[in-house]
Amino acid sequence: MAIQNIMDTQIPTIYSTGIYNEKNFDVLPEHLPKITDIMITGTTEILSSIKKKEVPVAMIFAKANEEFVAAAIVQYFEGEDGEAGNWNYSWTFNKEDVPENAKTVTPYDAALLSFYRSVGHTKYGMVIEMPSYAGDLFVYYMSTIKNFLSENASESDEWGVKVDGIVQFRVVVENKEKVLSCEVDGEIKQLIKDDAAIEV
């Protein structure tokens, strides 16, 4: 299985060129790891803040025409035989993976902008001025990744790209179907697991 650093691929250039042509956003290719971190960490902090034991909560990344691109989902599973329950946190490119009863939010929601702003400003001195900017940056990002993996899927091997310490994106062909996955780094996942809030 070959996992390439995202900066060793054409993705940064594709993203930079595409988002400029479509949204008139001037994002240099070398800023892609920063965008990745702001999106993944910010989304994780949002879901940690609004998660509910009663229902799954999902951040939905979708285009203006409502075409589904990706989602991040957190849900609580009760423990068995008196054992403590646990939070499951996952990202997906498949709409079917989003539970039907999930409470949903999007990166365009104005009330959530402060999370992305905080990560961007604290880590990189970057300012995301409006909710629409955050939504467009991240939806276009996930769409770019999805398209790139699909176009470069290999019949012979699982393949992917990574941003070290943040995320891996992978694709494998199974029964002639392309299966895409997204795995957030373990340390970032820990932001979800507020074990102190779990009642045994």
How far is residue 31 from each of residues 13, 36, 42, 95, measured CA to CA in Å? 10, 9, 16, 28
Per the prediction, the chain carries an average pLDDT of: 93
CA distance 114 to 129: 10
Residue 11 resides in a domain: yes
Residue 150 resides in a domain: yes
Going by C-beta distance under 8 Å and a sequence separation of 6 or more, which residues neighbour residue 161?
Answer: 3, 4, 5, 6, 9, 11, 145, 148, 149, 168, 169
Task: Output the pLDDT for position 80.
Answer: 80
CB contact at 8 A, 91 and 168: no
Task: Output the pLDDT for position 90.
Answer: 96
Task: Output the pLDDT for position 53.
Answer: 93
Residue 27 resides in a domain: yes
Q: Which residues pair with 13 in a beta bridge?
A: none
Chain-centre distance for alpha carbon 180: 13
CA distance 24 to 139: 15
Percent of the chain at pLDDT > 70 equals: 96
Task: Using the predicted structure, report yes or no on whether residue 102 has a pLDDT greater than 60.
Answer: yes
- Place 194 in a pLDDT band, splitting at 50, 70 and 90: low
CB contact at 8 A, 59 and 116: no
Q: pLDDT by residue (tens digit) across 173-183? A: 998 899 999 99
Residue 34 resides in a domain: yes
CA distance 44 to 185: 11
Q: What is the largest CA-CA distance in the chain?
A: 56
The pLDDT of 128-146, averaged and rounded, is 96
Token pair 């970032």: residue = 188
- Place 199 in a pLDDT band, splitting at 50, 70 and 90: very low
Residue 10 is part of which domain span?
2-193
Task: Output the pLDDT for position 193.
Answer: 75
Task: Using the predicted structure, report yes or no on whether residue 135 has a pLDDT greater than 60.
Answer: yes
Task: Output the pLDDT for position 172.
Answer: 94
Residue 91 resides in a domain: yes
CA distance 59 to 80: 28
Q: pLDDT by residue (tens digit) across 68-96? A: 999 999 999 988 877 778 999 999 999 99
The pLDDT of 106-132, averaged and rounded, is 96
- Place 14 in a pLDDT band, splitting at 50, 70 and 90: very high
**Pairing of β 2-5 and β 159-163:** parallel
Q: How many domains does the chain have?
A: 1
Task: Output the pLDDT for position 200.
Answer: 28
Residue 200 resides in a domain: no
Residue 19 resides in a domain: yes
Residue 164 resides in a domain: yes
